[in-house]
Structure 1
Amino acid sequence: MMLFKRLRIPFLTITCSGVILVLGKLILAPNSSRYTAKPFVFPSEVPLAQWQSLHSQSLFTPIVWQPNLMTSRNYQYQQNNLSLDIEMRYLVPTNGNVQELLQIYTTLPASAQMRQQEEVGFYYLLVDEQQAHLSSCINPRGKTTVTEQQFTGNGNRHDLQLNRLLPWLMGEVQLRDRRCLWTHLSISVENTSPSEAYQILEKAWFSWYQWWQPRFPKS
C-alpha cells in the first residue's frame, strides 16, 4: 500500500502529461493526423541467393479493386530448369488478412497451410493444379504475418513504443503503422512434388525476407 502511494503521484503526472500532449496535438495541429505514406518505387532488381534474376515489371491492377494499393512489381528468377515468380504489393493501410488478399487478386483455392519459421514469422503455403505458392505480409517492424489477428498483435508489440510518440505528435508517422509488403511466390509443380516445391519456396522466401525487412519503405 505504501509503495502504491509513493508511485501514485508520478503515475498520475505521466498520465496527465500524455493527455495534455495529445490534446495539444489535436488543438494546435489537427491536420497532422492526416498522415499520407511517402511514395515508394520498387527497385527494378532484387538479389536472391542461388537464383538468377531474369527481369521485373510493374503489375497492372485496377485501382477500383484495391484503393490502398500504393505500388506493385513482379520479379522473375531462374535456377537451373526452375522458374520462380515473385509478386510484391505495397499496401497502405491494410488489415493484414492475406486470405482476403488472395481472394481479391487471385483465383487460388481458399484452403492454405499456415507455417511458421521462428526467425521470420508466419506464411501460407498452397497449391493448385499447376503451381505451388507461398504468401505472407512483411511488416514495417517485427515478423511476418498472414492473419488480421497476427498483424494487429505485431503492431501492438512494435508500434506502441515511446520512441514513436514524438514523431506521431509531429504528424510524421501513424501511431499504428498499418502498412504491409504483401509477398507472393510461386513455382511450377510440373516436374516436382508439392512438398519439394514448398521446400524450394521456403528457402527462397527466407532469403527474400532477410533482404526486404531492413529495407521496408520509410514512413
Structure 2
Amino acid sequence: MTIWKQFRVPLLALTFSSVVLALGNVVLFPIKDKRTNTPFVFPEKVSLPQWQFSMSRLLAKPTKEHTELFAQKHYRYLRNDLFLDIEMRYLTDGDGERLFREYTSISSSANVRQREGVGYYGLGVSKQRAYLSACINSQGSSTFTLKQFNQNQYFSDLHPQRLLSWLLGQESLKDKRCLWAHLSIPLKSSSPEAAYQVLETAWFSWYQWWQPRFPKH
C-alpha cells in the first residue's frame, strides 16, 4: 500500500498529461475522416454455407446521384431450384429504413426482428418475393432503423480502445459507414414464414462472414 501511495500521484499526473496532450493534438490538428474516401471493391465471389454460388455482377447505378454510396454488388446463389439474390452496398448512411425505400421498389414496411449475436434486421414480402434487409456496422451488431444505428454507434464510441484511437488521432470518433445487405427469394408455393426462415439462416451466415471483413479505413 505504501508503494502504491508513492507512485499514485506520478501515475495520475502522467495519465492526465497524456490525455491533455492527446486532446491538444485533436484540437490543434484535427484529423480528417478519410475512411469514406478509401477505395473498396466487393469480392467477385463469397462462399455461403448450404448454397451454391451462381454469379455476381455490378448493380446498376442509381438514377440520381447518391454521394453516400461508394460501392455496390449483386450476388446470386442456388439451392435445389431456389435462387437467392443478395444486393450489397457500401455507404455512409445507417438509416436502413431510408435505404430500403431508396434502393428498392418496395413500398410496404418491414417487420423488425433481432437475433442474439447478430443484431436487428427487417423482413417482409413484396411482389411474390420475401426479403431481408439490414445494415452491417463497422462495430457492434447489425441494425435496421436509424435509431438502432445511432444507439449502436453510441455504445461503440464508448469502447475504451475506440476512445484511445480517437485521442491519439488515429481515427475519427463517429463512423457512419454501413454495409447494407438486401436478401430476397421468390415465394413460389411456400409461406412467408417459411421463406423468412430460409432468409434468416442465410443472413446469419452472411453476417458472420462480412462483419470481421468490414472495410478498413
| Alignment-derived partner of residue 26 in structure 2 | 25
Percent identity, please: 47
Contact 1:65-1:104 at 8 Å conserved across structures: no
Contact 2:138-2:177 at 8 Å conserved across structures: yes
Deviation, 1:190, is: 2.0
| Alignment-derived partner of residue 5 in structure 1 | none
Give per-residue Cα distances to partners, 1:194-218, cap 9 Å, x unaligned: 1111111011111111111111111
**Aligned pairs, how many?**
209
| Alignment-derived partner of residue 119 in structure 1 | 117
| Alignment-derived partner of residue 61 in structure 1 | 61
Give the CA RMSD over aligned residues. Answer: 2.5
Aligned partners of 2:48, 2:214: CA distance in 1, in Å? 16
Give per-residue Cα distances to partners, 1:13-57, cap 9 Å, x unaligned: 967754552233232x24x23433321111100000110000101
Contact 1:160-1:176 at 8 Å conserved across structures: no
- Give the residue type in structure 2 aligned to 1:175: L
- Give the residue type in structure 2 aligned to 1:45: K
SS in 1 for 2:121: strand
| Alignment-derived partner of residue 164 in structure 1 | 162
Aligned partners of 1:105, 1:130: CA distance in 2, in Å? 18
Give per-residue Cα distances to partners, 1:57-112, cap 9 Å, x unaligned: 11122384421111010000000010000000011x22x21111111111102321
Contiguous gaps of at least 5 residues in structure 1: 1-9
Deviation, 1:179, is: 1.0
Aligned partners of 1:142, 1:210: CA distance in 2, in Å? 12
Aligned partners of 1:126, 1:82: CA distance in 2, in Å? 18
Contiguous gaps of at least 5 residues in structure 2: 1-10
| Alignment-derived partner of residue 97 in structure 1 | 95
| Alignment-derived partner of residue 211 in structure 2 | 213
Contact 2:108-2:126 at 8 Å conserved across structures: no
Aligned partners of 2:131, 2:109: CA distance in 1, in Å? 12
**Normalising by the residue count of structure 2, what TM-score does the alignment of the two structures yield?**
0.86
Aligned partners of 1:49, 1:173: CA distance in 2, in Å? 35
Aligned partners of 1:192, 1:76: CA distance in 2, in Å? 20
**Normalising by the residue count of structure 1, what TM-score does the alignment of the two structures yield?**
0.85
